[in-house]
Chains A and B, each alone.
Chain A
Amino acid sequence: MNKHLSIISRILVAFASGALIAVFLLPAWRIDLFAPQYPEGLSMYIWINKLSGDVEIINGLNHYIGMKHISAEMFPEFKYLTYVVIFFMALGMTAAITGKRKILLIYIIATIIGGLLVLYDLYRWGYDYGHNLDPKAAIQVPGLSYQPPVLGHKRLLNFDAYSFPDAAGWIVIGAGTLCILVWLTEWYINRKKRKT
């Protein structure tokens, strides 16, 4: 069995892991809120190390329901995510340079686990913000929580909330998918070779 990647596969893997640099330049995730009095929408952009967009306006609105003030300092993730991404880029590059299929497989599995952890983390923070409300809040609807959707759409009082990957997020997803396709192609070709 050939344990090495073809030169084309190695270039593609190098390209995919290099593309991760996008997360330093573009936001990874976005949450959009629309309400009758906000027809233009309010957007919060989540980067790997900061927040941007209408965070202060959203905070202003959230105080009615007693939600905690959202600020970048509250998220320890912002401190170490940069290193995590650098690690992933290095791992991908190692796979490309050495051309070892096994390292690519480790890279892919790590990416999938990483992605799932990100979604879990989003859920955890969303849960925390949506449930741990100030008991003195002006607006209190018994039994209602304000947890934003992890992915997709959810109605929160007068707001339609949408949560989706932003540009860098899509690039990461694209890069991961590319690596998986490379690995599958390699696997398929090798299987054929072994049969013949």
Chain B
Amino acid sequence: MKIFQPKKWQYLFITAFAFFLLESCKPKGTQSAAGGDATKAYVAPGKYDEFYNFVSGGFSGQMSVYGLPSGRLLRVIPVFSTDPEKGWGFSEETKPMLNTSHGFVPWDDAHHPELSQTNGEVDGRWVFINGNNTPRIARIDLKTFRTAEIIEIPNSAGNHSSAFVTENTEYVVAGTRFSIPPDDANGDVPIDSYKQNFKGNVSFLSVDPKEGHMKIAFQIRTPGVNFDLSHAGKGNSHGWFFFSCYNSEQANTLLEVNASQRDKDFIMAVNWKKAEEYLKAGKGRKQAVRYAHNIYSDKTHSATSTIETEITVLDSKELADMVYLIPCPKSPHGCDVDPTGEYIVGSGKLAALMPVYSFTKIQKAIADKAFDGDYEGIPVIKYEAALHGEVQKPGLGPLHTEFDANGNAYTSMFVSSEVVKWNVKSLEVLDRVPTYYSIGHLMVPGGDSKKPFGKYLVAYNKITKDRYLPTGPELTQSAQLYDISGDKMKLILDFPTIGEPHYAQAAPAELINKNSLKFFKIEENENPYAAKGEGQAKVTREGNKVHVYMTSIRSHFNPDNIEGVKVGDEVYFHVTNLEQDWDVPHGFSVKGANNAELLIMPGETQTLKWVPEKSGMFPFYCTDFCSALHQEMQGYIRVSPRGSNVALEYSTGKTPAPSAAKEPAK
């Protein structure tokens, strides 16, 4: 046979050998990194995790809650996006939560969760998170793991450098990514009039220490740049807030080129104590604006939305000693303050080094007036005068830095897909570990507070490629857990995430789980449509509105037979869950409903609006498997044609007399 001719045979052998050589030259990828220390991430069935991990859902608009170190998904909290599963944004009670000055906005892009802090330490009361697209900040109550408040930010577009807090949660901040003409100015101007008409601003929202309610205390008007991220000073830098900004070129088109021209952009340092003084002294200008402020009450089990009409603006150009700019190389992203509050790390995402600023030096530079001129009236501190030092060759594309309790920093490198550990004081790179792939933010529990808990680091990746079974063109995003308790970082677990994770926070479980509510007390239910017992169940008609005051308890609705509803009626099912036990929600759904289901927690009342469009028989049932008789938990609503004379009747458990069968409506 031909194939055994010596020449051909030799040729084949050489080819195979060449292939072998090529294979071994290829970089080692996923396979070599497999073999994480799984035992460290193992949490036995029935055991609790050590940390709660609150992860932004990115373009899902929600926030997910994971357990660490297991990476088990515990809950997805609906925030800015509707969630038919929970009736969020579909029930009459929750619809006002998604109201804005643009009307009902059922989606957003949630990036940066931040736990409330007391004395610079996470306190486990609330998580704040930003809505990027239609600028908003939400506050999530960690007693209920639900969104308790959403406030819209005026004069903003792309609320990106948010929702970070000061060390006693005095303020939560917002900063506009897009500069735009202010809301009270005419926005109908040529786009290339950017430099004249477009303004930036950062907002300080005060937080009521008891109830958590937010209020826009003041906004600082700034030059028209893009704000990216921010962090509060702490310890000796308490009273200051630092915002990274890019596009100091003030480009309005092709930013990938035009906003990358200058060698340095800025970190903006805001002395908010000074701003408070100006505010008190009446130096602020009242501006007419419109923004929604939505609050959910656990007493009435419903939300209210108020359109607020005024804010106070402090001008960075006119008011001295309040705002300074510090040069920072190449379009900085992360702006992170170490646990002592002394060091501020700027991550110029296009730079080959990372500057670390010293708060003491910044103060000295201000006192000495070591300025390099100004930028639209704001003093620019000399780079060297503010600098503690530079981390040389940390990696490519530094984005974001968190800290441990031992003076080390961990920076994510987007371009080189790695986490780099370095010493904050000596600026020496200590270790580096790959991520799979393209890490965005990273997170150490308590890593942006005065008291990092260390132990773990989680990388949140943008690209997963070959890390998981493929699921068509859209692949999962992922988180990767590293053990940072030793000198060397060790990958111990990969887990998929919902949406696209940006920033995240984590807190020790015991700080939060002891306060977790088990159910709402029925006697404290102040919903005007609550039926706080089966005796209060009823159906009433007001014109074409039919109100069904319905109760649910294992395993029946009261009423479960309703007649006399007509086509075109607006039917409101106000369902009260009478259970007073942990983990016994009831669901409610009716055939053909154009919105969603209700998921009603024990002691709570929720309302589903339903407008029947044709006559007939419409079953409804409980959607949450509540008991052994869950499948029996159902009822019927009879819908008659418009103008029909079928009387409004309702009952539960009424058995008809044999001869009493009613005729169909004529």
Contacts and interface: CB of A to CB of B under 8 A. Distances in A.
Nearest to B554: A60
Contact of B628 (A54, A56, A64): A64
Given A60-B553, A60-B554, A139 B580 contact: no
B579 interface: yes
B414 to A, nearest CB: 45
Interface string B327-365: 000000000000000000000000000000000000000
B1 interface: no
Interface string A45-60: 0000000001011001
Interface string B619-661: 0000000011100100000000000000000000000000000
B628 A60 contact: no
Interface residues of A, number: 9
B580 A56 contact: yes
B581 interface: yes
Contacts of A60: 553-554, 579, 581
Interface in A49-97: 54, 56-57, 60, 63-64
A138 interface: yes
Given A60-B553, A60-B554, A138 B579 contact: no
Contacts of B628: 64, 138-139
Q: How large is the interface on B (under 10, 10 to 19, 20 to 34, 35 or more residues)?
A: 10 to 19
A7 B581 CA distance: 53
A58 to B, nearest CB: 10
A40 B632 CA distance: 27
* Best-buried of B553, B580, B581, B628 by chain A (most CB within 10 Å): B581
Interface in B572-588: 579-582
B518 to A, nearest CB: 10
A57 B629 contact: no
Contacts of B629: 64, 138
Nearest to B582: A40
Contacts of A54: 581
A64 B556 CA distance: 12
Contacts of A64: 627-629
A37 to B, nearest CB: 8
Interface in A166-192: none
Interface centre among A57, A60, A138, A139 (most CB of B within 10 A): A60
Interface in A130-180: 138-139
Contacts of B553: 60
A60 to B, nearest CB: 6
Contacts of A138: 628-629, 632
12 contacts: A56-B580, A57-B580, A57-B581, A60-B553, A60-B554, A63-B554, A64-B627, A64-B628, A64-B629, A138-B628, A138-B629, A139-B628
Closest 7 CB pairs of A and B: A57-B581, A138-B629, A56-B580, A60-B554, A64-B628, A64-B629, A60-B553
Interface of A: 40, 54, 56-57, 60, 63-64, 138-139
